[in-house]
Structure 1
Amino acid sequence: MAEILTGGQMMALERAAMARGAAESGVLMDAAGRAVFDTIFETWPELHAAPQRAVVLCGPGNNGGDGYVIARLLREWGWEVEVLAFGAPGDGAADAARNAARWHDMGGASRALDGGALEEALPGAALCIDALFGTGARALSGDLAAWVDRLNVLAAAEGALKIVAVDLPSGVSADSGKAPGGAVAADLTVSFHRAKLGHYLADGPAAAGALRDCPIGLPDDPCADAVMRIAPPTAADLLKTSGHKYDYGHALILAGPPGQGGAARMAARGALRIGAGLVTVACPQRAVYENAAQLDAIMLRGIDGPSGFEELLEDARLSALCLGPGLGLGAITAQLVRVALEAGRPTVLDADALTRFSREAERLFDMAHPDCVLTPHEGEFARLFPDLAEEMRDAATETSRADALRKAADRAGCTVLLKGPATLIASPGGDCRLHSALYDEAAPWLATAGAGDVLSGFITGLLARGFAPLDAASNAVWLHTACARNFGPGLIAEDLPEQLPAVFRTL
């Protein structure tokens, strides 16, 4: 798994590497500028064919220093380049000052950034480089916010003008992705060494355009508390190696009353396809005929409320439980959740099983145990953790989705998965992982009814097979997106489990 860093973590890695002589700041700045220069032409080969005109916006810090390097490289390639500077390099930006001096020494054009300069410089330009602020980004305000807004308007009007952000679009927080004062709307963002959390959260993805991460010569030192990006599972992790179904667990999915069983059936199909040896749907007696008409390889049991569920759980071979999809919001749901959690088996709680406790979340957390996985979407998360959701949404705070989720997992005492285009998973103690369905891995067709129910089934199936909760959730969410991308536009939730065999063959 690759690390996804905050701005502070990135700066700490740079300082540590330089302190022990493993990196030199001026060399890093040259490498960063070269990485952006090369990535521009890799992304748009047509710009490589003949020199054109570029405008480079340089801030007063090291991000601005990267901009001066890019300006110099473009000019050496034969481009006409003008720098619009938001102040001169300040204290602590000696390398930026040296690169600004090199730019001026070669006769490079430069003037102060303001609204008038933008109006004059941008028309007819092929490129605009945003090197105002990087991982040390601040919220835009005052004249600068107005100029960035004007930049976005002019770029949209120009059509052919491409905006490239250096490390992060100016205005976007490296830690939270929030951009309370607006942000540069880039076509391409070139990140250095590791992607930053802000590339994936809140306003970051919309501002970044395409995202490319480039090495700049920093050593691969680990960062102990970084969010980890979920890697594809391996065939050895997932594919069966023995021939007996009882070696792969027995998943039990609870279904709701008549007319509400579809969600549980989709979860059950997901659990079966992902490799649980056996899957049973348990439903009220009056819903048995409805479910029996639509289940084949999946077994079916009718139960009489919580007492019937308790009796069913006397079978110790039932190795993982899933409650919530289509279960209903009545008092019986709370009782069923209590019975499930008292059984102490790996349990996925989703949808109605979460919403039922929206007014008594602490009661749910008191019952939860470390082998549980809660899978809320943003609305369900806000009902269970209203204070954390407010911090997460508040543009005035630096609290990110990752920060909020870590606190939520500690509070709940179990693994929590927060669904979204950038799905985050955290377990008590601080482990946090991110799976991106953004940029080159986007799967917008996952926004369809029932997709979350299938994800719950995937997690339950892996729990039944013996995966730890954090690993079950991580593998499931990666496979979920891979299934969606394998199918493509037109996807409905029922299609997701049926893509697993093809996805498994790619591992």
Structure 2
Amino acid sequence: MQSHKETLLLTPENMGQVDRAAAASGLSSYGLMERAGQAVAACALRRFPGALRFVILCGPGNNGGDGYVVARALRAAGTEIAVHALGEPAALRGDAATAFAQFTGSVAPLADYHPRSGDVVVDALFGAGLGRNLAADVIATIEAINESAVPVLAVDLPSGIDGRTGAVRGAAFQAAATVTFMCRKPGHLLLPGRMMTGDLEIFDIGIPERILLAQGGKIGVNAPAAWRHVLPVKTGAGHKYVRGHLAVFSGPATATGAGRLSAMAGLRAGAGLVTLLSPTAALSANAAHLTAVMLKVVNGDGDLSALLEDVRLKTFVLGPGFGDGERARRYADLIASGERRLVLDADGITAFRDDPQMLFDLFAEGEPRLVLTPHDGEFARLFPDLAEDSTLSKIERGQKAAARSNGVVILKGADTVIAAPDGRALVNENAPPWLATAGSGDVLAGLVGAHLAQGMPAFEAAASAVWRHGEAGRTAGEGLTAETLIDALGGVDHIM
């Protein structure tokens, strides 16, 4: 059984609350620091058996305290060590002061360290709690170490990475590996922090899971544990209408491919029926490429209104290759009536750039029925103020956008965030870099539509689609195309 700690994300603020709650429960806070430092020392010895010297860089807070425990443990193991401190160690307080007192070795200033061949640096300067820009002298040290290619083992998070946002605060270590404690923090998953963390190890230092869960729950790592409980149950009594009917709008005759990719992905992802809604001028182009996907003429509002009389048709994908902004707005208005669900992607998002509130008003009432799938540029068209606010993490941008739109927001990228209006958010980590290819987003839109058509709630439909999209990308392998990505979707069904 997978532990909640594997998918839990805690901000530095939340982790501080966990530490205080653990101490209040009777756990020794210094005992936790001791276990953390010993774990880092064990990792250092295991990962770098050929090190000629371990250089421990200790900061002015509890991360530095961890570093002094590491130094003591490595010295006891018989390795050569050197300790360099930022600030005056005598000024340490609390558990960090205790750790320094237990070390008893010599400590040199941080500025005195000059990398040499055979060194391994243990970075215990700041950890995940950093929320300010680094001083120039610290930046100089970090840059010198990065340029030297001396391997770095980071304690909690590479120093210079903001644990809440993943942003670089002036400079940051490029770690070969990082040891963190109990669970991951947003900075481990959000870019560029993810790229600086290296191999990540999560070590349980003994805080009860109930204390972690009491401070978490709203944000996490996207994994089947978050949505498996609402996956459609497949039985022998099922038929195509039970599995839902998905409709995807085609673009004009010169841009039909994107809509077809979404439609084919929706069918492959389990929708019982999929219909491509095509203007007359694009019928021949679409008909030449479709078999199992049905084709229906929709030339304007009248055709769509007639189609909407079929109460079984409740889920739509609008935007891939669509092109016509004015028509997209009218279609969204028609779809919004009733209990219909809409995946708005690409050109569908751009259609509302001049009046985003018009879109939000259409879906303002009730449970979320709108799923938005923007990349950063499209996000800025609907939420310019959030996009420009550098104080927000990607998670926070997604949460605020979801609350404003009463929709589920899939803020795409290598660190895709899925956010719901109620504040829930998941960060995806399984997508390979080769998913960044033409048509990949169209496939994702169709996936989301298929999951909605099968009756999944909007947040879980979006999150499961993003995860399935990433797993299919891994299965298809480097060099995939949108077509081979669709073919790979079935290969991941058994692990959902």
Query: Normalised by the shorter chain, which TM-score bucket?
Result: over 0.9
Separation in structure 2 between the aligned mates of residue 12 and residue 88 of structure 1, nearest angstrom: 27
Alpha-carbon contact 1:3-1:228 (below 8 Å) kept: yes
The answer for the alignment partner of 1:76 in structure 2 is 76
Output the TM-score relative to the length of structure 2: 0.93
Amino acid at match of 2:220: M
The answer for the alignment partner of 2:284 in structure 1 is 289
Separation in structure 2 between the aligned mates of residue 51 and residue 353 of structure 1, nearest angstrom: 55
Identical counterparts, % of pairs:
42
The answer for the alignment partner of 1:179 in structure 2 is 168
The answer for the alignment partner of 1:363 in structure 2 is 358
Q: Aligned to 1:143, which of 103, 118, 137?
A: 137
Deviates more, 1:30-39 or 1:358-367: 30-39
Separation in structure 1 between the aligned mates of residue 339 and residue 51 of structure 2, nearest angstrom: 67
The answer for the alignment partner of 1:36 in structure 2 is 40
Separation in structure 2 between the aligned mates of residue 7 and residue 267 of structure 1, nearest angstrom: 39
Count residues in correspondence: 481
The answer for the alignment partner of 1:206 in structure 2 is 195
Deviates more, 1:467-476 or 1:236-245: 236-245
Q: Please give the secondary structure, in 2, of the residue aligned with 1:4.
A: coil
1:408 correspondence with 2:404: no
Q: Aligned to 1:275, which of 259, 267, 270?
A: 270
Separation in structure 1 between the aligned mates of residue 180 and residue 156 of structure 2, nearest angstrom: 4
* Deviation of 1:215 (Å): 1.2
The answer for the alignment partner of 1:487 in structure 2 is 476
Amino acid at match of 1:372: L
Separation in structure 2 between the aligned mates of residue 506 and residue 359 of structure 1, nearest angstrom: 42
Alpha-carbon contact 2:317-2:445 (below 8 Å) kept: yes
Q: Please give the secondary structure, in 2, of the residue aligned with 1:339.
A: helix
Equivalent positions of 1:76-95 (< 5 A) are: 76-89=76-89, 93-95=93-95
Separation in structure 2 between the aligned mates of residue 334 and residue 246 of structure 1, nearest angstrom: 28
Equivalent positions of 1:147-296 (< 5 A) are: 147-154=141-148, 156=149, 161-220=150-209, 221=211, 222=213, 223-224=215-216, 226-232=218-224, 234=228, 237-238=231-232, 240-242=234-236, 243-296=238-291
Separation in structure 2 between the aligned mates of residue 261 and residue 81 of structure 1, nearest angstrom: 64
* Deviation of 1:90 (Å): 6.7
Alpha-carbon contact 1:381-1:389 (below 8 Å) kept: yes
Alignment RMSD = 1.8
Amino acid at match of 2:288: A
Amino acid at match of 2:311: A
Alpha-carbon contact 1:59-1:88 (below 8 Å) kept: no
Separation in structure 2 between the aligned mates of residue 139 and residue 60 of structure 1, nearest angstrom: 15
Amino acid at match of 2:323: G
Against the structure 1 CA distance between its residues 37 and 241, is the aligned structure 2 distance closer, same or farther, given a 3 Å change threshold?
A: farther
Against the structure 1 CA distance between its residues 504 and 384, is the aligned structure 2 distance closer, same or farther, given a 3 Å change threshold?
A: same
1:66 correspondence with 2:55: no
Separation in structure 2 between the aligned mates of residue 89 and residue 25 of structure 1, nearest angstrom: 19
Q: Note the alpha carbon deviations across 1:215-263, whole angstroms, 9 max, x for none.
A: 1111112124541212226598356223411111100011111021111
The answer for the alignment partner of 2:19 in structure 1 is 14
Alpha-carbon contact 2:9-2:183 (below 8 Å) kept: yes
Amino acid at match of 2:99: N
Structure 1: which 4+ aligned runs deviate by more than 6 Å?
Answer: none
Amino acid at match of 2:122: I
The answer for the alignment partner of 1:381 in structure 2 is 379
1:506 correspondence with 2:495: yes
Against the structure 1 CA distance between its residues 464 and 174, is the aligned structure 2 distance closer, same or farther, given a 3 Å change threshold?
A: same
Q: Note the alpha carbon deviations across 1:468-490, whole angstroms, 9 max, x for none.
A: 00000011011000000111101
Amino acid at match of 2:221: R
Amino acid at match of 1:180: R
Alpha-carbon contact 1:51-1:78 (below 8 Å) kept: no
1:316 correspondence with 2:314: no
Q: Note the alpha carbon deviations across 1:56-95, whole angstroms, 9 max, x for none.
A: 1001111011111111221122110000111234767322
Amino acid at match of 2:371: V
Q: Please give the secondary structure, in 2, of the residue aligned with 1:499.
A: helix
Against the structure 1 CA distance between its residues 127 and 256, is the aligned structure 2 distance closer, same or farther, given a 3 Å change threshold?
A: same
